[in-house]
Amino acid sequence: MKKILVTGGAGYIGSHTCIELLASGYEVVIVDDFTNSVAEPLQRLQKLAGKSVSFHEVNLLDEAALDAVFVKEGQIDAVIHFAALKAVGESVEKPLMYYKNNISGSLTLFDVMQKHGVKNLVFSSSATVYGDPEETPIKEDAAVHATNPYGHTKAMMEQILMDTSHAFDWGVVLLRYFNPVGAHESGEIGEDPEYPNNLLPFVSQVAAGIREHVTIFGDDYDTVDGTGVRDYIHVVDLARAHVKSIEKLAKHDKGTLIYNIGTGTGYSVQQMVETFRQVSGKEIKTVVGPRRPGDIAECTADATLANNELGWSASYGLQEMIESAWKWQSQNPNGYRDAK
Ligand code: UD1
């Protein structure tokens, strides 16, 4: 494995993964169309890694343009496929847009990979495929029943890839991410949502004075303090899980491997806000609101399989996750929008 093509490499998880790939000695080819990202992280990640990437601005639905990338780049050893839409609420309102982007775009990519004999792929799946799990921590063999169009696209993609790896002898790793948070230690690369849907970017913006308060979506769950519990994972640890997956594919011939990527430890909304207060020294106002439709009480990973088979485990704890998120937020109050 030498040359890795990364779709969505300008995005939050993609950009962190490209840095880790470069640090591990891989050549990186990025395909991104800036649907939900900007070019700035590409400059920054190359500077941080001290190495350059090859970049192509291409939408995955554009088969001819994608084909031209594979022709131009020559031998690609594996693909890491991040590019997708990811807002749950939006997916409920615009299901066709989600199916078209996340499914049709991926199918086009897989067709082009098959044509060029590229048979290794790491796919960004999500703990969202488990829906409301019967028990936590969740193991990979728990039932898959996603509850919204975004989650359905992830579950469908998993099925498509299992069938594809079986038919064409591909090697596939499906990584089911729990809740990615935090930023690169430099504070130069991070999550850049204009309007955050997820908890931690929202808390960051309240701490920074951009928003007035955090609404806690329900405090009557059957959890440690009544607020929702999640398994937050440092984005750099998550990025490293992709490098481990590429190493695994280099040794493993074919078939689909599925791994949960989380720390195994859950924190409540209240615990997250309190830790953020301590780290930032800022007041963070909270208001308890109703439950968000579709939310579950608790979701944590059993990541034993990734520990044993990928040789991966999380190295950062909550403190480091929040310190890095706050460093990124403080250094880039408007995300990448202020970048020259
Ligand atoms: C969400 C998505 C999930 C996706 C994941 C990606 C939903 C229902 N689920 O997971 O499909 O894979 O993001 O990162 O959107 N919370 C508040 N106030 C807020 C925001 C969140 O109290 O302003 C609470 C939520 O109720 C939850 C926890 O914080 O208990 C985490 O929420 P969030 O960051 O949105 O992640 P998930 O809902 O777990």
Residue 200 CA: nearest ligand 1 atom is 34
Atom 33 of ligand 1: nearest residue by CA position: 198
Q: Do residues 101 and 113 make contact, with C-beta atoms less than 8 angstroms apart?
A: no
Q: Do residues 164 and 213 make contact, with C-beta atoms less than 8 angstroms apart?
A: no
CA–CA distance, 209 with 203 (Å, rounded to integer): 10
CA–CA distance, 110 with 89 (Å, rounded to integer): 27
CA–CA distance, 294 with 90 (Å, rounded to integer): 13
Atom 7 of ligand 1: nearest residue by CA position: 88
Prediction pTM value = 0.98
Residue in the block written with tokens 């796919």: 123
- Ligand 1: which of 206, 292, 318 to mutate, judged by most atoms within 8 Å of the beta carbon? 292
Atom 9 of ligand 1: nearest residue by CA position: 88
User: Hey, which residues are catalytic here?
Assistant: 150
**Plot region of 292 (φ>0 → left; ψ -120 to 50 → alpha; else → beta):** beta
Q: Do residues 2 and 77 make contact, with C-beta atoms less than 8 angstroms apart?
A: yes
Atom 2 of ligand 1: nearest residue by CA position: 88
* DSSP assigned state of 58: -
Which residues make beta-bridge pairs with 217?
289
* CA 204 / ligand 1 centre spacing (Å): 15
* DSSP assigned state of 139: P
Q: pLDDT tens digits, the chain, 340 residues: what are they?
A: 999 999 999 999 999 999 999 999 999 999 999 999 999 999 999 999 999 999 999 999 999 999 999 999 999 999 999 999 999 999 999 999 999 999 999 999 999 999 999 999 999 999 999 999 999 999 999 999 999 999 999 999 999 999 999 999 999 999 999 999 999 999 999 999 878 989 999 999 999 999 999 999 999 999 999 999 999 999 999 999 999 999 999 998 789 999 999 999 999 999 999 999 999 999 999 999 999 999 999 999 999 999 999 999 999 999 999 999 999 999 999 999 877 5
Whether the bond between 137 and the residue before it is cis, its omega within 30 degrees of 0, is yes
CA–CA distance, 204 with 158 (Å, rounded to integer): 32
CA–CA distance, 57 with 322 (Å, rounded to integer): 32
Residue 214 CA: nearest ligand 1 atom is 23
CA proximity to 152, closest of 101, 195, 108 = 101
Report the side by side order of strands in the sheet with 298-299: 267-268, 229-230, 298-299
3-state secondary structure 280-324: HCCCCCEEEECCCCCCCCEECECCHHHHHHHCCCCCCCHHHHHHH
Provide the pLDDT for residue 340: 58
Ligand 1: residues within 6 Å at CB?
88, 126, 128, 150-151, 179, 197-199, 202, 214-217, 228, 230, 269, 292, 294-295
CB atoms within 10 A of CB 131: 19
